[in-house]
Amino acid sequence: MANRTDTLPTSVPETGVADLGLFGKPLFEDPSARALARVGVVDVGSNSVRLVVFDGAARSPAYFYNEKIMCALGAGMAETGHLSPTGRVRALSAMRRFKKLADGMGLSELSVVATAAVRDASDGKDFCDDVRRETGLRIWVIDGEEEARLSAQGVLLGWPGAYGLVCDIGGSSMELAEISGGRVGRRVTSQLGPLKLRDLKGGAKARSAHIKEVMDGLQDKMGAQRDRLFLVGGSWRAIARIDMYRRSYPLHVLHEYRMTVRSVSATVKFIQQSNLDEIRSACGVSSTRMALVPYAAEVLSRLVKSFKPKDIAISSYGIREGMLYEQMPQRLRDRDPLIEACRFAEAKDARMPGFGKILNNFIAPLYKSSPAPRKRLVKAACLLHDVSWRAHPDYRAEVCFDNATRANLGGLKHAERIYLGLALLHRYSNKRENTRFADLHDMVDEQTRNEAEILGKAMRFGAMLWMNKHEDRGEMRWFPKRKLLEIWLTPDMLPLFGEVAEARLNSLAASLGAEVQVKTGKAQPERKRS
């Protein structure tokens, strides 16, 4: 490792709690902790310097603050061996600003990590000293394999049970890491960053030969990789935005966006044949980033040819999120990020926190035979069913759909976002036609849309039965073969079953194609029947 300014703490056991780590203090002193106080991280990369402040549910952290400044510290390093003078000025200015922002947010400290440009530059240590002198911030300079490990842990934060190959591209380097069983395996680093490739002499032909030579070496070290490829880094995200634009893909959420080897090939060709300014404007990519996209596209083209992944997923989580994962006790790592985020949202924003669990238990008979992934989404929907109540009633259904589909949620495929959004839309509205999200509805098939409607109407009816959590509640029973929906109401519940509740129940029964029976009293133990 070059220009290490401080000795890094001993690496954290993947099954335990960090002692100090890159944050200078343990984040989870209580093994049962589930919430995260504001934590600030600065990532000093070869192309950008970014401040992220995390808050909320620890297993699915929200971005309290997120700011990126394109500094291009690594520009011209291939020729000069030192950081870009202009980049240094901009980066130092960014660090002063970030320190001031952190002080204003009441953060006790910022954790600052630097990667390829700072570790490789002859004046990397001088830059770190300047930052320390002017801001008091200490920069941890990590080597390539450590960068690969932290990026891979970021993917594990967003994808429970993820397995495959993680590829993180920065401005001056590209890292690969294996993940499986919640652990990071083999990892390697290379100089295949777009800033380095841009400075390579010999033009496109020389670049192509160089990329192939380096990629062949990486393939030899990593072995056969035929599972999912996770892409981490700003250049990959820019290419994903362009792929969305080329395909007219309606949901502009990068995390969990899927590509195929064929679509990568088509998008690389599209980039090569298109006007970059037009693409940049249409896709909302900065000019600084767009200038590097063609070089990153050449790397991606070779990457998928070499490793032949079965599919490709974009990860919005990387090194910064990996630093959080580093410190998590195993019991927190094992929690579901989706459910944790929904539970936190309910506690913060619902009118009656805790009712989501009661609602889920009430409608659970409808999903007795459903697979675990569907039950998971039902639980998430119940936890979120009331968090948008402050929206104007005329727009509440659409706000619910928009929040669910575009929220910062890990562990959620795009099709699952649509299902969840539709269910929450139907929590407040019987109809989904003529909304401004009709193009998103078509991302799932009619059966999925109908199932989301049933879930929404079940929540819509169940929400009418608010009671003290200690009071005896009624019960819902569902007999799918007989198409019979039974509702048992305790005497205390009868006053709640007014005409609006009855209308909502009948609407649910109609969507199920079922007969409905309302009974009074305590439900008897269910006999075996179809």
Read off the pLDDT of residues 323-348 as tens digits, 9 standing for 90 and up: 989 888 888 888 999 999 999 999 99
Torsion from C-alpha of 25, 30, 33, 35, nearest 10 degrees:
-30
Burial of 473 (C-beta count, 10 Å sphere; 0-12/13-18/19+) = middle
Quick one: fold of 21-143?
A: Nucleotidyltransferase; domain 5 (3.30.420)
Nearest-angstrom CA–CA distance, 204 and 308: 23
Measure CA of the first residue to CA of the last residue in the chain; give whole Å: 67
E strands, 143-259, in order: 164-169, 174-180, 183-190, 228-232, 258-259
pLDDT at 31: 63
CATH number of 146-320: 3.30.420.150
- Check residue 385 and report its DSSP letter: T
Nearest-angstrom CA–CA distance, 96 and 513: 63
pLDDT digits over 105-157, tens only?
998 788 999 999 999 999 999 999 999 999 999 999 999 999 999 999 999 99
- Position 525 pLDDT exceeds 90: no
pLDDT at 26: 67
**Which residues lie across from 519 on neighbouring strands?**
488
- Position 168 pLDDT exceeds 50: yes
Is 341 within 8 Å of 304 (Cβ atoms)? no
pLDDT at 177: 97
Q: Which residue has the higher pLDDT, 422 or 472?
A: 422
pLDDT digits over 86-98, tens only?
999 999 999 999 9
Where do runs of H (alpha helix) occur along 46-123? 77-80, 85-104, 116-120
Q: Which CATH superfamily is domain 336-520 in?
A: Hypothetical protein af1432 (1.10.3210.10)
Nearest-angstrom CA–CA distance, 426 and 258: 27
pLDDT at 21: 57
Two tokens, residue 140: 């941890």
Is 398 within 8 Å of 437 (Cβ atoms)? yes
**Location of each CATH 3.30.420.150 domain in the chain:** 146-320
- Position 202 pLDDT exceeds 80: yes
CA-based nearest residue to 204, from 268, 284, 256: 268
pLDDT at 522: 74
pLDDT at 2: 39
Two tokens, residue 289: 């980033």
Q: What average pLDDT does this structure show over 421-443?
A: 87
* pLDDT tier for residue 258 given thresholds of 50, 70 and 90: very high
pLDDT at 226: 81
Is 79 within 8 Å of 57 (Cβ atoms)? no
**Location of each CATH 1.10.3210.10 domain in the chain:** 336-520
* pLDDT tier for residue 58 given thresholds of 50, 70 and 90: confident
Nearest-angstrom CA–CA distance, 140 and 114: 6
Is 453 within 8 Å of 432 (Cβ atoms)? yes
CA-based nearest residue to 530, from 487, 485, 479, 493: 479
**Location of each CATH 3.30.420.40 domain in the chain:** 21-143
Concatenating the DSSP letter of every residue in 15-32 gives TS--SSGGGTS-S-SSTT
- Position 178 pLDDT exceeds 80: yes
* pLDDT tier for residue 3 given thresholds of 50, 70 and 90: very low
pTM of the model: 0.89
- Position 16 pLDDT exceeds 70: no
Q: What average pLDDT does this structure show over 461-489?
A: 87
- Position 530 pLDDT exceeds 60: no
Nearest-angstrom CA–CA distance, 130 and 121: 15
CA-to-CA separations, 123 to 83, 114, 118, 129, 523, in angstroms, rounded: 7, 13, 8, 10, 76
Is 372 within 8 Å of 486 (Cβ atoms)? no
pLDDT at 8: 43
pLDDT at 465: 84
- In this structure, the strands spanning 258-259 and 62-70 are unpaired
pLDDT at 13: 39
Q: How far from chain centre, in Å, is Cα 233?
A: 13
In this prediction, what percent of the chain has a pLDDT beyond 70?
Answer: 91
**Which residues lie across from 51 on neighbouring strands?**
42, 67
Nearest-angstrom CA–CA distance, 431 and 51: 42
pLDDT digits over 42-53, tens only?
999 999 999 999
Neighbours of 456 (CB within 10 A): 27
Nearest-angstrom CA–CA distance, 135 and 100: 9
Strand order in the sheet with 48-57: 62-70, 48-57, 35-44, 110-114, 139-141
